[in-house]
Amino acid sequence: YRSSLSLDRFLEWSLEHEIPKAYRFVFVTVIVVAVGVFRTLFVTSLLPWLFFIPVIVLSGLMFGRSWGLYASTLSTVAAGVTISDPQNPLWLSGPQWAGSILFLVVTLGLAWLAAELRSAFARYRSLAKRHESTNGELKQAESQQLLLNEELSHRLKNVLAVVQSVVSQTLRQASDLPSASTAISARLVALGDATTVLTANSWSSADMMTMIEKVLGPHGAIGVRIIAKGPPL
């Protein structure tokens, strides 16, 4: 698990830091040559190709497919140089040529797989960021929906309180049931009209004179029993 996290951090760093091609070329070349020198000086008894494999995989993971393939080809050449015999006209013996060719084929596959792993991680990273962004948008939408529900509940309670007040006052003032019914209907219509004026602008603004005419209309003709005047507000 810890190794996986380290690899993730390594791949993430390589994706976030775009290294120029010239520096990539120098880096891969120097590492391959250094491994070849190390193997020649200190590890002559082991397989000549063994120590080049980590370099090839690292190049594919860090820089992508083309650099992994370049590291594989250069490693094959470097390994061949370290075991070459100047007295041999073919440079290498038959088994050495066979081993070099097999090494090249295998490491080309390794470089391709390493590059595919890098690409898969890049796609996963992109999807993770998109998923995180989508989750953020969903949470924001959910928060707005909760706020809207609370506001709607609050306004509904206010409307019900107003309706209750209208009905109560009208019944107390009415002399008989028919007149009370007529007055209640007119006042509830006025309340509905006032609400329509508000909702027309999403409860953000409303013309004051229009509101006065809608709300006070049932109580008497505007301009006769009720006088309303003033600047636009």
Residue 171's identity, in one-letter code, is: L
The dihedral through the CA atoms of 166, 169, 171, 176 has a sign that is negative
Predicted pLDDT of residue 3: 47
Q: Is 222 helix (H, G, I), strand (E, B) or coil?
A: strand
What pLDDT sits at residue 2?
45
Task: Tell the residue number behind the tokens 């088994």, with chain if given.
Answer: 95
- pLDDT of res. 1: 42
Task: Determine the pLDDT at residue 47.
Answer: 64
The per-residue pLDDT for range 99-137, each reduced to its tens digit, is 778 878 888 888 888 888 877 877 787 887 788 888 888
Other Cβ atoms within 10 Å of 226 Cβ, number: 13
Given 3-state DSSP classes, what are the helix, strand and coil percentages for the chain, each rounded to the nearest 5?
80, 0, 20
Q: Pick from 5-9, 17-21, 45-49, 67-71 the range whose average pLDDT is largest.
A: 67-71
Mean pLDDT, the chain, integer: 79
C-alpha span between 63 and 54 (Å, rounded): 14
Q: Residues, the chain, total?
A: 233
Instruction: Using the CB atoms, write b or e for 176-205: b if 16+ within 10 Å.
Output: eeeebeebbeebbebbebbeebeeeeeeee
Would you place residue 8 in the very low, low, confident or very high pLDDT band (cuts 50, 70, 90)? low
The DSSP secondary-structure symbol of 48 reads T
Query: Measuring CA to CA, which residue among 23, 35, 100, 34 is closest to residue 62?
Result: 23
How many Å is the Cα radius of gyration of the chain?
Answer: 41
Sequence-separated (6 or more) residues with CB below 8 Å from residue 85: 91, 92, 93
Structure tokens at 150: 């609370």
Q: 176-233 pLDDT, tens per residue?
A: 888 888 888 888 888 888 888 777 776 678 888 888 887 787 776 777 778 888 898 8
